[in-house]
Structure 1
C-alpha cells in the first residue's frame, strides 16, 4: 500500500477510521507512519486543507443511517468569555466574541448531526432539537492535528458512533490552521455546545467525546463552561488519544517515534503542530510559555472542575505519557490503555474498534440518565 492508496482509503469503509473492520496490516501501518511524518513533519509547506475533500458528498442508505449539516448563529444568550489568569486567551476570545456578535466573524457556525438507522424516532432525527425531554446525545469533537476537521468521508464514522452509543451524535465543524488559529476552534465548539443547550438539550444528558486535537479543544471548552458553573453538570467526557501538553515535553514523544505516526518537531520550531495552532504572537512574547497555559495544555488545568472522565490511549502513542500523567491527577478518572496501539491504530480494525466503542458505550451508559 502506497501513500496515495492510504489517502484513497479515507473513502473505503474497510479501513476508514472508526468504521472499518479490516484489521491493520504491517504494510498499511508502515505507510501510515510515513505519511504522518510527511504531513505533520513538514508544516512549512502546508497551506491548509479545503473545507471538504475533493469528492462527492456520500449518500448513505437509510438502513445504515444518515446525517445533515446545519448552520446556526451564536446564541443570543451566550455571554462574554471570562478566562482567569490568561490575558492572552482572554484577549483573543473577546475579539472573537465581539466579531461574532457583530456578524463579522469569517466563516459560519455549522454542525453535523448524525444518526444510525438503529436510533429510530417518529420525529425528525436530523433536527437540532431534542426528540424527547430526556434525550441523551454525544457531542463529538474530531481530531486532525488542528489543521483538519470534518469532511464528507468522515461522516460514516459519526453514524457508526451513533449506532454504538445508541444516541444521536453532533459534530461541531471548527475552523482550522493556518487560516484560523487558537482559540478559534475553541470558540466554535463552545458556541456549538451553547447552541445545543439553548435548543433544549440538558447538560446531564450530554456526553462530550474528543479525539486527539479534538480532545484538547474539548477540555478547553470544559474550562470555559467551568467559569459559568456548568462543566460539572455535563454527564461526562471521553478523551481518546488526547493531546494534553502542547509543550511536547513528555518522554513518549521520543520513545514512540519508530511506531507512531506523529513526528516529534520541537516547539522551538514555528512549524511544530502546537506553534502552528497557536499562530503568530507579538515580539517579546515567549510562545513556549503560552503553550504551557491550561487552555492550551489541559494537563495543567484545574481538574476539580471537570465532569466524570474516561481516557483511552495506546501504549505506542506519542501522547501516552501525558495521558498517564493527566490521569494521575484525577483519582476518579478511568484510564484505559491498549498494548500495541498507536495514534493510527486506535480507530482501525475490528478488534480495536470493539474495545474502543465498548468502553465508550459502557461509560456513557454509566454516567447518563436512562
Structure 2
C-alpha cells in the first residue's frame, strides 16, 4: 500500500461524512497543510522523524500557546526489560536498552503549553512547575509511520488549553526506518525521564491515539510496578495487529482505514513488525506487546476508551473493555477513524470526556 492510496481517500464520502466546511478548525487546516507536505514521498523512503514542515505552515499565534522541542536521554537508572513468556520481544528490547546506555539512541520530546495557563516558572522547561503539577503525556497516531508531525503542534496546544495542563509528547521513531519495538522503548524512556526530572507518576495521564495508543499501552505494561501513572486514555486504539475482528470488514465502507492483510509485506502491521527471519508473522503480531488486545491487563492504570461506532477498530475496543471491568468505554454513533478529530462539535465532545477523566484520576492540587 502506497501513501498515494491514502491521499486519494482524503476526499472520500466516508472521510467527509457529517462534517461541513463551517466545522473545520484552524488546527485541522494546519494539519492538512503539514500532512500534504509530508506525503509527497512514498513511505518506503520515510526515515524516522517526520520531515520539517512547509515554509508556509501556519504558525501558532502567541495568544493561543507555544511549544518547544528538546532532546533528552534515557535515565541511567532505567532497568533492563522483563517480558515474561516472550523471548522475541525481550531480546529486541534489551538490545535497545544496551544501545541507549551506550549513547547510541537519540530521543526528543515536545512540551506544549496554552497561553490560557497562568505563567509559572519555565513553562517550556522539562521540570515540574510545582511539586504536584499534573501533566499529560500525549502519543499521537499515524499508523506507526507518522507520529509527531509539524501540524500536530496545534493539537498539543489545544489539548493543553482544554485541560489546563502542560502536554509532553515523545517524538517516537516510526516505521519503516525504525520498527518494533523502538517506538515502545522511546515512550518508556520518555516517561522514565519525566519521572526522573521530578514529575510524580500519580500526576501523569497518558493519552494515546490510534497507533500511539497501541505503543502507549505496551509501554505502560513494561513500566507497571516501577512507574504506575494515574490513568490512561486511548482514543480509537489499534489493539489487534492481526486485524481479526469483524468490524474491519463491517465498517470498511464507512471508515477510511483500508484493510490490508497482515500477511502482506506492505501492510502497516508488517512494516511496524519488520523482518521476521522465517518466523510466523501473524503469530508474532498477535503477541501481547504488539497487540494489546491479547495482553494480560493486570497492572494497567484506570482507563478511558473513546471510539467511533463506524471505526474499523470498534470491535477491538469493545472486546478490550470487556476484559477490564473498570474501564470506561465512550462510543460515538456515526463517527469513524477520521471524523473522531474532525469538526468543532466532535472535538468538543472528545475534549469534554477527556477533561472529565483526567480530573477524576489526578490530584486536584496540581497547577
- TM-score > 0.5 by shorter chain: yes
TM-score, length of structure 1 as denominator length:
0.87
Corresponding position of 2:293: 299
Corresponding position of 1:70: 70
Deviation (angstroms), 1:304: 2.0
Corresponding position of 2:223: 225
Q: How many residues align?
A: 341
Report if aligned partners of 1:65, 1:117 keep a CA contact under 8 Å in 2: yes
Corresponding position of 2:242: 247
Corresponding position of 2:108: 110
Corresponding position of 1:25: none
Question: Any residues of structure 2 matched to 1:261-300 within 5 Å, and which?
Answer: 261-283=256-278, 285-300=279-294
Matching residue within 325, 331, 337 for 1:331: 325
Separation of aligned partners in 1, 2:65 and 2:134 = 18
Corresponding position of 2:17: none
Separation of aligned partners in 1, 2:169 and 2:338 = 21
Question: Any residues of structure 2 matched to 1:9-88 within 5 Å, and which?
Answer: 15=24, 19-20=27-28, 46-48=44-46, 51-56=50-55, 59-88=59-88
3-state DSSP of counterpart to 2:151? helix
Matching residue within 314, 324, 327 for 1:320: 314
Separation of aligned partners in 2, 1:195 and 1:292 = 29
Corresponding position of 1:349: 343
Cα 1:13–1:139 shift into 2, 3 Å? farther
Report if aligned partners of 2:9, 2:256 keep a CA contact under 8 Å in 1: no
Report if aligned partners of 2:23, 2:345 keep a CA contact under 8 Å in 1: no
TM-score, length of structure 2 as denominator length:
0.87
- 1:309-355 CA-partner distances (Å, limit 9, x unpaired): 00000000010000000001111000000000001000011110011
3-state DSSP of counterpart to 1:337? strand
Cα 1:16–1:111 shift into 2, 3 Å? farther
In structure 2, list runs of 5 or more residues that go unmatched.
Answer: 1-5, 12-20
Separation of aligned partners in 1, 2:72 and 2:182 = 16
Q: Which moved more, 1:300-309 or 1:234-243?
A: 300-309
1:133 aligns with 2:94: no
- 1:218-272 CA-partner distances (Å, limit 9, x unpaired): 000011012xx135x3110000000001110000001111111110011121111
**What is the RMSD computed on CA atoms of the aligned residues?**
2.6
Cα 1:306–1:365 shift into 2, 3 Å? same
Corresponding position of 1:179: 177
Matching residue within 102, 121, 124 for 2:122: 124
Runs of 4+ displaced beyond 3 Å: 2-7, 12-17, 56-59
Report if aligned partners of 1:58, 1:152 keep a CA contact under 8 Å in 2: no
Report if aligned partners of 1:13, 1:20 keep a CA contact under 8 Å in 2: no
Separation of aligned partners in 1, 2:281 and 2:28 = 39
Deviation (angstroms), 1:52: 2.4
3-state DSSP of counterpart to 2:88? helix
3-state DSSP of counterpart to 1:305? coil
Separation of aligned partners in 2, 1:3 and 1:81 = 38
Deviation (angstroms), 1:152: 1.8
Corresponding position of 2:188: 190
Separation of aligned partners in 1, 2:9 and 2:121 = 41
- 1:78-108 CA-partner distances (Å, limit 9, x unpaired): 1111111111110111111111111123xx2
- 1:144-196 CA-partner distances (Å, limit 9, x unpaired): 00001112211011000001111000000011111000000001111000100
Separation of aligned partners in 2, 1:243 and 1:47 = 24
